[in-house]
Amino acid sequence: MKKQLLVLLTAIFIGFGVNAQVKTTETTVLVLIHSQNGGTYKMAKAIAEGIQDYPNSKAILKRVPSINSKEKLNADVEKLPVATIEELVNYDGIAFGSPVHFANISAEMNSFFSQSIPLWTSRALEGKPATVFMSAGSGAGKEAAILSFWNILASHGMIIVPTGIMGTATLDKTVPQGNTPFGATSLAGSTGTRPSPSELNLAKEQGKALARAASGLKNTESAKILKTTSVESKVGFDINKTLKDNNITLPEAPKPVGNYVPFTISDHKVYINQVALKDGKILNPGKIGATVTDEQAKEATYQTMLNVIAVLKEACGGDLNKVKQCVQLTGYFNTTPEYTQHAAIMNSASNLTALVFGEKGKHARATIGAFSLPINSAVEIQAVFEIE
Ligand SMILES: Cc1cc2nc3c(=O)[nH]c(=O)nc-3n(C[C@H](O)[C@H](O)[C@H](O)COP(=O)(O)O)c2cc1C
């Protein structure tokens, strides 16, 4: 398909699927929490502080989605960005925080991980450093709760960073504290003034330890993402089940608005081009780096890729299991001239592709900055898939 775009080539990145992760010198660590009353959130801030204390390390604080629309969250927690399961692959390390609920992790955190089957079967988190911290009431069952969280992380093959006796030298031993050798906790029900300075210090040390592990391991990570597993090859990879397990609903395939077709098929290759249309309107239109934020651009890119997959489904006669490979994705982004984060934004399309198609989602990729895009879309994706 011919494109008449005045293209400013500001960044081109070619890689394979989610292996096309941006590798900067900075270590990026996610602090992902569930917190109802804010106790875990306070601990998370100390963890983030510890991460940022480690040279060249950045902490990003997010929460898991609520599973109950009536859940009343602490106001500060409510404001946190909500993480998606597929974005976990993007970080160099992850600190997980949850309240202790009945000597276990919270239902919300558990529900979040119940969506991680595709990451598990594709071994996408294997070798990634992780640590666990918690907020408890009396502290009853706090260690069991951390260890039950460890079971999930071990299932994903993550490298678990424990705390040992970090921070105990300065621990105020005149009152009960939430220290454990597995991870920091806070006894929030103890005095009403928790987390205590000692508990915050433990959390800070823990954050620093995770950042150290993440920094050391990050350049060894790229080789292992998305390998085919025996699980996947034995039981088969059903794309419809993957979509359902991840609550991904494909939109109706957008209709052409000119003298062209939504896709062509030539020699078992399907060619598709889409912009960020959602319910007949462009999602987050405008220029990235000026009127569109990176988060909005990622959302628009995700939507564009959903549209691509919806069209692909039509091309496959309704059965996405006919897809043999995502061959190539090209992302065009309407950006300011100095903008450079194209690859990071395109990851939301690449990660979705990897999540939906597993091993078949591995693709070559290019990202390109443009002065403008049709109907003021912030993004356009050209996709080539091979089908049966
Ligand atoms: C359903 C439920 C179960 C709980 N179970 C425990 C428990 O087993 N042990 C404990 O020490 N605290 C328990 N708590 C108290 C919470 O762990 C405590 O209030 C925690 O600080 C909440 O964290 P948040 O402020 O981040 O929401 C429970 C609270 C709830 C709501």
* C-beta 135 within 6 A of ligand 1: yes
Residue 244's pLDDT is: 85
* C-beta 36 within 6 A of ligand 1: yes
* C-beta 100 within 6 A of ligand 1: yes
pLDDT single digits (tens) 201-244: 999 999 999 999 999 998 774 434 443 333 343 345 688 888 88
Q: Whose CA is nearest to atom 19 of ligand 1?
A: 137
Q: Whose CA is nearest to atom 9 of ligand 1?
A: 140
Q: Ligand 1, from 71, 101, 109, 135: best to mutate by most atoms within 8 Å of Cβ?
A: 101
**What is the value of pTM for the model shown?**
0.61
Residue 60's pLDDT is: 97
* C-beta 146 within 6 A of ligand 1: no
Residue 69's pLDDT is: 77
Beta partners for 369?
8, 333
From CA 136, how far away is CA 101, in angstroms rounded? 8
* C-beta 72 within 6 A of ligand 1: no
* C-beta 39 within 6 A of ligand 1: yes
pLDDT single digits (tens) 24-33: 479 999 999 9
Q: Whose CA is nearest to atom 1 of ligand 1?
A: 101
Domains of the chain are 7-18+235-387 (3.30.1330.40), 25-224 (3.40.50.360)
From CA 291, how far away is CA 11, in angstroms rounded? 20
- Nearest ligand 1 atom to alpha carbon 39: 25
* C-beta 141 within 6 A of ligand 1: yes
- Averaged over successive runs of 10 residues, the pLDDT of the chain (388 residues) comes to 43 35 71 97 98 97 90 93 90 97 97 90 90 97 98 97 94 94 94 90 98 90 40 56 85 91 96 96 96 94 97 95 96 97 94 90 95 96 96
Cβ(64)–Cβ(112) below 8 Å: yes
